[in-house]
Structure 1
Amino acid sequence: MGPFAVPEIDFGPGKLHHVGIVVPDSDAAVQHFEDLYGLPIRLLPESHYHCRIDGVAHSTVQRLGLSIEGPPHVELLREVPESTVWHSRSGVHHLGFVVDDLAAASAELERRGSPLWMGGLAGGQCPVGTAYHRDSLGLTIELLDAATAARLATRLNEAR
């Protein structure tokens, strides 16, 4: 097993799905990435995200953008005022990886010392679709199941 390999998870650079960046103004950020880097990003329609943050149920309306090229994608997340999660003070917010078995991969990261910080919530179950873990250095890793990655791809295709 390599230095970044965890059962059910491959953190090799070729497996990176996206780099998430929280921005204060989605439209301005899209223009910024296009003008400065020549990187076209499409904003997706707003969507509700139901999750647990530090064990407490939350719901927010989020608007995200994805680079047309990818994976890996650049993912822009709109800042949510007063949020402990979606704030633009930190630069890169997280790295996202697609995993085959979300529950097993999340449990393994937790077992290795990277506790579940936030996860998608459906029917009282967590994590569903996504799981965010933070390590002792403050790095946040998002695990996405294949169905969530496919939904993002579909939404991106529809936004093109």
Structure 2
Amino acid sequence: MENNVFGVRAADQFHVGLVVDDIASAADELSTLWGYEWCEELSGRSHVVLPDGGTELELRSVYSVTTPRIELVRSIPGTLWQPADSGVHHLGYWSDDVAADSAALARCGHPCEAMGVRRDGTAHWAFHHGPGGPRIELVTRALQPVLERIWAKGREPS
């Protein structure tokens, strides 16, 4: 049954995001407790549009190779990337049109807190937070094959 207001569906969910102060320590704990295995850490500067304007942030994260997939994100003081009381910071969904899906979420009462944009201005991810529940991260489906290669190898492709 197709009853949602935009193009993202429940089946598009691909990870649960946890924001942590120490990625290595959190990964070790999840490995010890549940047997998770991890890719190499991903990091880089990203242009991020926040409600009060654009900025550059150093984003660092690691995805589990093991499913269900977990993303550990390093906390950044003074931003939305802070550890959540419940542990779950966000649910990540693939999107075929991040800008359009982001606008639809905002119209439904889930304002955009941050949007990653490429140099050409194209949105490639966005974080939204509504009145209840964890944040929602929309990620361009164009990144799916890249991340699937990383997950399959357990490290960044050569």
Q: TM-score range by the shorter chain?
A: 0.7 to 0.9
1:104 corresponds, among 96, 100, 104, to: 100
TM-score (norm 1): 0.83
**Is the alpha carbon distance of 1:121 and 1:114 closer, same or farther for their aligned partners in structure 2, counting shifts above 3 Å?**
same
Partner of 2:13: 16
Q: Quick one: percent identity of the two aligned structures?
A: 29
| Two-structure CA RMSD over aligned residues (Å) | 2.2
TM-score (norm 2): 0.84
**Is the alpha carbon distance of 1:62 and 1:7 closer, same or farther for their aligned partners in structure 2, counting shifts above 3 Å?**
closer
Q: Does 1:143 align with 2:141?
A: no
1:85 corresponds, among 76, 80, 84, to: 80
Structure 2 counterpart of 1:142, which letter? E
Partner of 1:62: 59
What secondary structure, in the 3-state scheme, does the structure 2 residue paired with 1:150 have?
helix
The CA distance in 2 between the partners of 1:38 and 1:62, in whole Å, is 25
- Residue ranges of structure 1 left out of the alignment (5+ in a row): none
> After TM superposition, where is structure 1 displaced by more than 3 Å over at least 4 residues in a row?
154-158
Q: Does 1:128 align with 2:123?
A: yes
Q: Does 1:39 align with 2:22?
A: no
- Residue ranges of structure 2 left out of the alignment (5+ in a row): none
**Is the alpha carbon distance of 1:123 and 1:109 closer, same or farther for their aligned partners in structure 2, counting shifts above 3 Å?**
same
What secondary structure, in the 3-state scheme, does the structure 2 residue paired with 1:147 have?
helix
